[in-house]
Amino acid sequence: MAKLKLKRHVINRDWCKGCGICVHFCPQHVLELDDQDKVFAARPQDCVCCKLCELRCPDLAIEVETEEEMIWADR
């Protein structure tokens, strides 16, 4: 079985306008806005790679880079 594993959040700071949609709708509260109102991943370890931030970003400013992790079920 393959599961998505986070590589990193790629954030384009020039394109981010700090609207906060990704922060508000992140189911795991991974993201926050910094003092310049740009998004950053405050708790990347909690990310479940649902990519809702990437899909809802009006500015195409955030991308969730993932890789597939193989998980072997115990027999």
Partner 1 sequence: MATKDYIRERFFPHIWCPGCGHGIIMNALLHAIEQIGLKKNDIVMVSGIGCSSRISGYLDFHTLHTIHGRALAFATGVKISRPELTLLVPMGDGDALSIGGNHFIHACRRNIDMTAIVMNNRVYGMTGGQYSPLSGYGTYATTAPYMNIDQDFDVVQLATASGATFVARSTTYHVHEMTAILKAAILHKGFSVVEVMSQCPTYFGRKNKEGSASDMMEKFRARTVPLGSKKKQEDPTLIERGIFVDKQMPEYCEEYQKIIGRAMKDK
Q: Judged by CB, which is closer to partner 1: 6, or 21?
A: 21
CA distance 16 to 58: 9
Residue ranges that bind partner 1, judged by CB under 8 A: 14-15, 17-21, 24-25, 52, 55-61
Pick 22 or 70: Cβ nearer partner 1: 22
Closest CA to 18 of 35, 30, 1, 43: 35
Whichever of 5 and 20 has its CB closer to partner 1, that residue is: 20
- State the DSSP code for 13: T
Smallest separation, CB 57 to partner 1 (Å): 6
